[in-house]
Chains A and B, each alone.
Chain A
């Protein structure tokens, strides 16, 4: 982790985000946040049906302004706690260019990369 913005980020394959709140909870506990604060939140789309009859039900985690990519944990050689605990292992921490290469190599949709 460096202080320069744009070097590191989170890769999230949200096809596999089940909305379990493990990231949200791990983050709040790790950083000892009060009730009002969140370092990452989860947004929900669906369940809903499109006009073609297909059904959709997705979750998308989003780091907030309070996210520092777990700078202290990373400095100590651990993974950011959201990444460590993701129940479907859908999150990856790394350098932005590595994450972008990973996204390209995955050859699938429903991937986001958050740059911090």
Chain B
């Protein structure tokens, strides 16, 4: 490893230099979203509609009849990874009455998805938590007492001081759900108010959401790329003279129309398709966009790395790669060319279950297109070797020269160099070794020397369980619901989190996580009740508060600031008292200036830039010396090149080239296990109605049109197992079980089933042993923790094994329900393991008997059963939406 890379300061300088390249300002008309208005039609598509702009003034606030309209963007909570243009309509009391898509917004051009359209049902939901509550019964009893904010802050301060004194600040850990409009608050609160450095994506094993891809990108290209659909400029598609429509877009392991993940609007791809883009979709099942693609490759879950290596075998051996880019800008091509010889299409066909001729044809089609782009998704992260899978895909994009070109895969950073993510407030830890001692960082060189934004989730769990390397005593969980959604091996989390000293949950509703573990629950404001900024990729956006406060709810920032002034006043300037003063302080502190050099403020962005401050986005930055602190051309890597051969991996003894490894359990790696659990279990199938565990409240249209959890199964397989369409089915493997309803889907390989995630049932009993039914339909009962790649990233979340059998009255008694079983014993079904050793997964053989095998029937012979939750199998109508 070079000294340069080893040096943290150099790395930070590089990050600073990178972000500075994006702050260059050009003409004002690049800055505002006026192109939609000029054209009068969304994105300029022929058969779009002409919005009447007299009705949609280009102002932050205006009146429409009796209602006040606030024109801004929406970003959780609740909500997703987008910030779509929205108009909030409020009545005279400041109550949200309705929403509309904002036709003036270049990002979404008037459109809006169902969840933002039904937002008033969430904002004004009768189940919403409106004041702080503290636990009065045992954890799990769901008994709360209303308290004031002062009492809540006092309770936090007392416990934080006690835990800091007895165990040190490192025993306090903060957690968020998926990266949303909480990142800056969770981080800054953790560093400034608790003095700890540990935070993570709430027990998501292997940090397997975007971070494996990001970590890989940073070590091989010093930045990260995303698929370019002209989203970083206000003039879109053909209105931007520099932009090119991709000839081919490869959609890899994502259903972009539904999930809109990672600041990417899937519908942009459709706009490109209307303009001629051809699509290749790689997915285990036919998605809607897959049906509109030139090619759909039905990949076996967990084998994506092999497919990318097979593509490269074809592209290199048929001399279809981009010679100029490879020679001028990449490192290690010869080694890669040698490596891909191990992956001829015939072998890759065997691994991936995709016919050889389809692999070859798709590789040729992608390589021949200029520009071509790959839009990659969560499936890349959610294998044990997520980083290596990402490496294979990044090499594929590299050898075809589609790097940082219009319509290709472009390098991007946060807008305006404002550090508003997980490093928000990191300056509070300067002079300490807290950051380098984050849990899990020293175990994994990639985290230690390469890229890390957070602690490693699995290492936090192990610290809770074993107190090694040090105890974890307090959890601060902000808008995350780990046992419903985020955490794998949900029963294990249940057992571990019960042992904690002090747990605070900050959320919109009382969740299963709050009932099971929380000592204190704080009510969060929702997006229309907050002033905020977004810098997750260009443009910098303002979120303008539209509604009056709801009950005693407070925004994440306000809670952080009010607590901060009480617990650590030195960290908080006196004038920082609410959301808006915090935003303006951060803009000033981070030195963000307007084009005329004057300090940037929220008000300037709202008024001058109409809430969307675009910066002039530059292509081919590696040719222009815009990626390195020394101003040289090339990439911010030890070799200065786009590293097909990763020198950092080589320096710590990992394989420097991409490779394929079987999932830890599969018909190939564990054939004996496959005899018992023959089906491939993939998880997390998205639907338009929900975002992870949100929108499950029965008052929402989402829940009304999607009342039950559904899993997809091939009709032939269903017939073989005696399962009819719509029937409830147990899905089970060596780790646990859960149930969902069958949906016949002939597009699946008959050997694969696909399940939904995030289900809990707000209408069911909160108290244990029901816990809102949170374990009943939870695929995380079947997925391990601590089964990560050698670099600490990645986990086999989408590529497990299972069997299925019909729910019958005999096997579906109240005591057979996973929620009841976990709440009373800590485990799900019959014989399962009690050991928390990670070897359980890897070490499986037919004779393998882990220490302390758990027999639930034996357990109940010596333990009293709690009264089960009433479930009337014969009368589903008696309990709407209930089993």
Where the two chains meet, the residues of A that have a C-beta atom closer than 8 Å to any C-beta of B are: 11, 13, 15-16, 18-22, 24-26, 28-30, 35, 46-49, 55-59, 76-79, 81, 83-93, 102, 106
In the bound complex, residues from chain A placing their C-beta under 8 Å from that of B296 are: 55
Q: List, sorted by A's number, 11 A–B pairs whose CB atoms are closer than 8 Å.
A: A16-B274, A20-B688, A21-B114, A22-B112, A24-B114, A26-B114, A47-B286, A48-B747, A79-B52, A87-B113, A93-B49
Whether B55 and A89, one on each chain, are in contact in the complex, defined by CB atoms closer than 8 angstroms, is: no
In the bound complex, residues from chain B placing their C-beta under 8 Å from that of A90 are: 47
Whether A49 and B117, one on each chain, are in contact in the complex, defined by CB atoms closer than 8 angstroms, is: no
Whether B49 and A57, one on each chain, are in contact in the complex, defined by CB atoms closer than 8 angstroms, is: no
Q: Which of B47, B114, B286, B287 is within 8 Å of A89, CB to CB?
A: B47
Whether B47 and A25, one on each chain, are in contact in the complex, defined by CB atoms closer than 8 angstroms, is: no
Whether B746 and A29, one on each chain, are in contact in the complex, defined by CB atoms closer than 8 angstroms, is: no
Whether A78 and B55, one on each chain, are in contact in the complex, defined by CB atoms closer than 8 angstroms, is: yes
With A and B bound together, what is the CA distance between A48 and B168 in angstroms? 59
In the bound complex, residues from chain B placing their C-beta under 8 Å from that of A57 are: 286-288, 290-291, 747
B285 interface residue per 8 A CB criterion: yes
B residues 699-716 touching A (CB-CB < 8 Å):
701, 704-705
A-B contact count (CB 8 A): 121
In the bound complex, residues from chain A placing their C-beta under 8 Å from that of B101 are: 84-85
Whether A55 and B747, one on each chain, are in contact in the complex, defined by CB atoms closer than 8 angstroms, is: yes
Whether A87 and B111, one on each chain, are in contact in the complex, defined by CB atoms closer than 8 angstroms, is: yes
In the bound complex, residues from chain A placing their C-beta under 8 Å from that of B55 are: 76-78
Whether A25 and B117, one on each chain, are in contact in the complex, defined by CB atoms closer than 8 angstroms, is: yes
Closest B residue to A83 by beta carbon equals B49
Whether B704 and A35, one on each chain, are in contact in the complex, defined by CB atoms closer than 8 angstroms, is: yes
Closest A residue to B285 by beta carbon equals A47
With A and B bound together, what is the CA distance between A67 and B120 in angstroms? 22
Question: Known contacts being A78-B52, A89-B42, is A47 close to B100, with CB within 8 Å?
Answer: no
Question: Known contacts being A29-B118, A57-B290, A89-B42, is A49 close to B113, with CB within 8 Å?
Answer: no
Closest B residue to A44 by beta carbon equals B288
In the bound complex, residues from chain B placing their C-beta under 8 Å from that of A30 are: 98
With A and B bound together, what is the CA distance between A25 and B119 in angstroms? 10
B433 interface residue per 8 A CB criterion: no
Nearest-neighbour CB distance to chain B for A34, whole angstroms, equals: 10
Residue among B43, B48, B120, B288 with the highest chain A CB neighbour number at 10 A: B288
Whether B117 and A47, one on each chain, are in contact in the complex, defined by CB atoms closer than 8 angstroms, is: no
Contact with A along B30-70 (1 / 0, CB 8 A): 00000000000011010111011011000000000000000
Nearest-neighbour CB distance to chain A for B261, whole angstroms, equals: 15
With A and B bound together, what is the CA distance between A8 and B258 in angstroms? 31
Known: A84-B110, A89-B42, A92-B48. 8 other contacts (CB 8 A): A18-B270, A21-B688, A29-B99, A47-B747, A57-B286, A57-B287, A89-B47, A106-B47
Q: Which of A13, A22, A35, A47 is within 8 Å of B114, CB to CB?
A: A22
Whether A55 and B286, one on each chain, are in contact in the complex, defined by CB atoms closer than 8 angstroms, is: yes
With A and B bound together, what is the CA distance between A78 and B52 in angstroms? 6
Whether A29 and B113, one on each chain, are in contact in the complex, defined by CB atoms closer than 8 angstroms, is: no
Number of contact residues on B: which range applies?
35 or more
In the bound complex, residues from chain A placing their C-beta under 8 Å from that of B117 are: 22, 25-26, 29, 85
In the bound complex, residues from chain B placing their C-beta under 8 Å from that of A86 are: 111
With A and B bound together, what is the CA distance between A57 and B47 in angstroms? 22
Residue among B110, B114, B296 with the highest chain A CB neighbour number at 10 A: B114
In the bound complex, residues from chain A placing their C-beta under 8 Å from that of B47 are: 11, 13, 89-90, 92, 102, 106
Closest B residue to A26 by beta carbon equals B117
Where the two chains meet, the residues of B that have a C-beta atom closer than 8 Å to any C-beta of A are: 42-43, 45, 47-49, 51-52, 54-55, 98-101, 103, 109-114, 117-118, 120, 257-258, 267, 270, 274, 285-292, 296, 688-689, 701, 704-705, 745-747
Q: Which of A11, A29, A84, A106 is within 8 Å of B120, CB to CB?
A: A29
In the bound complex, residues from chain A placing their C-beta under 8 Å from that of B745 are: 47
Nearest-neighbour CB distance to chain A for B255, whole angstroms, equals: 10
With A and B bound together, what is the CA distance between A89 and B112 in angstroms? 11
In the bound complex, residues from chain B placing their C-beta under 8 Å from that of A76 are: 55
Whether B51 and A79, one on each chain, are in contact in the complex, defined by CB atoms closer than 8 angstroms, is: yes
Question: Known contacts being A21-B688, A84-B101, A85-B101, is A16 close to B288, with CB within 8 Å?
Answer: no
Closest B residue to A27 by beta carbon equals B117
Residue among A24, A29, A30, A78 with the highest chain B CB neighbour number at 10 A: A29
With A and B bound together, what is the CA distance between A84 and B287 in angstroms? 25
Whether B112 and A85, one on each chain, are in contact in the complex, defined by CB atoms closer than 8 angstroms, is: yes
With A and B bound together, what is the CA distance between A94 and B705 in angstroms? 29
With A and B bound together, what is the CA distance between A89 and B291 in angstroms? 19
With A and B bound together, what is the CA distance between A61 and B103 in angstroms? 22
Whether B288 and A59, one on each chain, are in contact in the complex, defined by CB atoms closer than 8 angstroms, is: yes
Nearest-neighbour CB distance to chain B for A60, whole angstroms, equals: 12
Nearest-neighbour CB distance to chain B for A27, whole angstroms, equals: 9
In the bound complex, residues from chain B placing their C-beta under 8 Å from that of A21 are: 114, 688-689, 701, 705
Nearest-neighbour CB distance to chain B for A9, whole angstroms, equals: 14
Q: Which of A11, A18, A29, A84 is within 8 Å of B288, CB to CB?
A: A18
With A and B bound together, what is the CA distance between A23 and B54 in angstroms? 23
Nearest-neighbour CB distance to chain A for B472, whole angstroms, equals: 41
Nearest-neighbour CB distance to chain A for B39, whole angstroms, equals: 13
Closest A residue to B267 by beta carbon equals A87
With A and B bound together, what is the CA distance between A22 and B114 in angstroms? 4
Question: Known contacts being A47-B285, A55-B291, A57-B288, is A85 close to B118, with CB within 8 Å?
Answer: no
Nearest-neighbour CB distance to chain B for A48, whole angstroms, equals: 6
Whether B48 and A89, one on each chain, are in contact in the complex, defined by CB atoms closer than 8 angstroms, is: yes
Which 4 A-B pairs rank lowest in CB-CB distance, beginning with the nearest? A57-B291, A25-B114, A47-B747, A47-B286
With A and B bound together, what is the CA distance between A21 and B506 in angstroms? 30
Whether A46 and B291, one on each chain, are in contact in the complex, defined by CB atoms closer than 8 angstroms, is: yes
With A and B bound together, what is the CA distance between A11 and B47 in angstroms? 10
Question: Known contacts being A47-B285, A87-B113, is A56 close to B291, with CB within 8 Å?
Answer: yes
Closest A residue to B42 by beta carbon equals A89
With A and B bound together, what is the CA distance between A81 and B110 in angstroms? 11
Q: Which of B118, B286, B289 is within 8 Å of A25, CB to CB?
A: B118
Closest B residue to A80 by beta carbon equals B49
Closest A residue to B293 by beta carbon equals A55
Nearest-neighbour CB distance to chain A for B617, whole angstroms, equals: 24
With A and B bound together, what is the CA distance between A21 and B688 in angstroms? 7
With A and B bound together, what is the CA distance between A76 and B51 in angstroms? 12
In the bound complex, residues from chain A placing their C-beta under 8 Å from that of B701 are: 21, 24-25, 28-29
In the bound complex, residues from chain B placing their C-beta under 8 Å from that of A19 are: 288, 688
With A and B bound together, what is the CA distance between A22 and B115 in angstroms? 8
Whether A84 and B100, one on each chain, are in contact in the complex, defined by CB atoms closer than 8 angstroms, is: yes
With A and B bound together, what is the CA distance between A60 and B811 in angstroms? 39
Whether A84 and B51, one on each chain, are in contact in the complex, defined by CB atoms closer than 8 angstroms, is: yes
With A and B bound together, what is the CA distance between A60 and B51 in angstroms? 24
With A and B bound together, what is the CA distance between A85 and B103 in angstroms? 9
In the bound complex, residues from chain B placing their C-beta under 8 Å from that of A48 are: 746-747
Nearest-neighbour CB distance to chain A for B443, whole angstroms, equals: 42
